[in-house]
Amino acid sequence: MSLDLSHGFFGEVQFNTQTVRQVFAANFLERAGTVRMSFPGRELSMWFDQPGVALVKHPDPAVARVEVTLGLFARLSDRSDEARALFTARGTIKDRKLLVGTETRACPSVDFKDAAPADIVQTFTTNSEYDDPVATAVRKVLQESPFALGPLADASGKRFYRTYFDVPNHPQGMLVMFIAAFGEPPTPPTVTERRFSSDAMLLVPDDLVKPAIDKGLAQAGLATLPAQLNPDVKVNSLQVSLQNGHIRIEGSGTNTTEVLSIPIETDFTFKAFVQPLVNADGTVGIHVISTQQDLVGAGSAFADFISAGALTRLMERLLPEAISGLSLGSISGLDFFASNTPRRDDSAPATPGSLPIIFANGMGIRFDVHVSMPNDIKPPYIRGHVDSKQFHVKGCQFGDLITFAHLRKFPSTTAALAAGFDGCAVCQPEFHVPEFGDLSIVVEHPEGVQPGLPVTVRATYAGDLVRFGVTLVPAAEEDVSAETIMSNGVPTHFLTFDHLVPADWTVLATAGTWSVETAVRVGTRVLAPDGSVEGKGTQLRATVGKPGLVQVIE
């Protein structure tokens, strides 16, 4: 017997890195997905994206570390904009203990309480005005650690967490938990991957499996041989051994039959190759892969021993007894990992897979970890249509018709107004503005002048209008025309900008090395209540290769 399978420890658990990532993400978002924090004179609101997790190396191999990536949206109550920010944070993997019913459970978790300033870094932002309050809030959130990285396990013995980065086929590394009954055996410099695509694999060495087998023999009445199984079959010798892929049971026995009321004894030998199975209700059964025996006449009397009688009694407690040995007797079966958690934000439940893996030096028990991700919560947005320049609140039937290609989202009504959008007449009548402007640019493109090049027109707002107390700062508009249409015998480009703020704009037209620019006041058009439009659009004309971008006055 040995502890070789688990590298000298009573047990070893190998975790799927993807499972570690999912458990952390669910645990973090359940506890800190949306944050509200007060600062002098204003309030900060933050919404976190689903975080990422990566194992990272540490100079001390006894220290297991992870790096989490936190993406977030942030808004301040005294501002009309928002910020997107990205942080990385490095923490240490530690035990987190919780009481589940009357039992103490522990799970791997990441702790940021002792993180140095350099361990929590903002790597990206769209708005530096948010940097200080957001950084303060992120650090405070991380102080609420530890956050779970795996399911809750039996807390007996002492657990050590290590990360390995030289495991074949695992470029992202592997998190391993070692379980010691006492002391602190040296952790191995390398490990062999034995997860076989499960979320977590519990490795139980034969030092614990063999006593479980002996206990099973005793419970089946086979501790002392020869043993009478039934009136017809007696077992004289029996050996149980672990093989790669199955358990082998071999021995000899005597079968007694009566011929003319005279008992006739026949000796036989047998072999059985079996595989334990975990049933849906958590009980353990067996699957007989094959049997061999040297006497056909003994087969019927021996069948009960091989398939449903003593052999089943021998095997059905093998896994539970082996795991009880692993946990020093504190659990009664395959509940090494908790199948439920006190709260969703504590960890994730795990249940044993149906097919344990048998090694020559122990067993591997697969566990499926059931991660329940909380609902994706995003900040509320005002929806704007990029063509009509109108915005809609949630629930507006017209806002619901906006396709993704035409959608622009605003964090607030103020931000939408500042962008030159006005409110929908149905859902936002108090911000509805019937006045707008249309600008068209006609550019003749003679043959041989900047041949084959497109014409680009850019219109930049130059006004100073204020609507509803908000100064307008609409974004520049740009359009590109690569195709021409014959007009009056000349190839011509037609470009338009609809629903502009009727005010001063600067218009620049370019084609290759040619460019012209002019200032123009875009005229006002009015949408009447009956749907008709009053007023005319504004038109500019130019010719590629010639100076001047001239307004057409009708």
The pLDDT tens digits for 450-503 are 999 999 999 999 999 999 999 999 999 999 999 999 999 999 999 999 999 999
Query: How far apart are alpha carbons 405 and 428 in whole angstroms?
Result: 22
Q: Which residues contact 483 (CB under 8 A, 6 or more apart)?
A: 493
For 160-173, write each residue's pLDDT tens digit. 899 999 888 788 88
The tokens for 344 are: 């969703």
For 238-249, write each residue's pLDDT tens digit. 888 888 888 888
Decide: 255 and 235 in contact? Cβ < 8 Å.
no
Query: How far apart are alpha carbons 82 and 15 in whole angstroms?
Result: 38
Pairing of strands 538-543, 435-444: parallel
DSSP 3-state of 406: helix
Distances (CA, A) of 471 to 417, 459, 464, 468, 476: 8, 18, 7, 9, 16
Decide: 232 and 256 in contact? Cβ < 8 Å.
yes
For 510-533, write each residue's pLDDT tens digit. 999 999 999 999 999 998 888 889
Query: How far apart are alpha carbons 140 and 312 in whole angstroms?
Result: 56
Closest CA to 112 of 24, 26, 214, 5: 24
Task: Return the beta strands (E) in 165-298 as ranges.
Answer: 174-180, 200-205, 227-228, 233-243, 246-259, 262-278, 284-293
Rounded to 5°, the CA angle 478-505-476 comes to 30
Give the confidence band of 549 by pLDDT, cuts at 50, 70, 90.
very high
Decide: 55 and 65 in contact? Cβ < 8 Å.
yes
Closest CA to 358 of 209, 469, 199: 209
Residues 189, 190, 191, 192, Cα dihedral to 10°: -160
| One-letter amino acid of 66 | V
Q: In the β-sheet with 382-385, what is the strand arrangement from edge to edge?
A: 407-410, 382-385, 390-392, 422-423
Please give the average per-residue pLDDT across 273-285, as a whole number: 73
Query: How far apart are alpha carbons 118 and 137 in whole angstroms?
Result: 16
Closest CA to 109 of 96, 123, 125: 96
Give the confidence band of 393 by pLDDT, cuts at 50, 70, 90.
very high
Distances (CA, A) of 56 to 53, 113, 162, 179: 10, 18, 11, 22
The answer to whether residue 326 scores a pLDDT higher than 50 is no
Domains and CATH numbers, the chain: 11-189 (3.15.10), 194-375 (no CATH), 382-431 (no CATH), 435-553 (2.60.40)
On the question of a cis peptide bond just before residue 226, with omega within 30 degrees of 0, the verdict is yes
Q: How high does pLDDT run on average in the chain?
A: 86
Q: What is the pLDDT of residue 261?
A: 60
Give the confidence band of 306 by pLDDT, cuts at 50, 70, 90.
very low
Please give the average per-residue pLDDT across 405-420, as a whole number: 95
Residues 208, 211, 213, 219, Cα dihedral to 10°: -140
The answer to whether residue 227 scores a pLDDT higher than 50 is yes
Which stretch of 33-37, 308-312, 408-412, 443-447 has the lowest confidence by average pLDDT?
A: 308-312
Number of continuous H segments (helices) and E segments (strands) in the chain: 7, 38
Please give the average per-residue pLDDT across 90-108, as a whole number: 88
The answer to whether residue 272 scores a pLDDT higher than 80 is no
Q: What is the pLDDT of residue 329?
A: 36
| One-letter amino acid of 39 | F
User: Which DSSP category does 241 fall into?
Assistant: E
The answer to whether residue 115 scores a pLDDT higher than 60 is yes
Give the confidence band of 265 by pLDDT, cuts at 50, 70, 90.
confident
Distances (CA, A) of 447 to 69, 183, 295: 56, 89, 102
Please give the average per-residue pLDDT across 47-67, as a whole number: 93
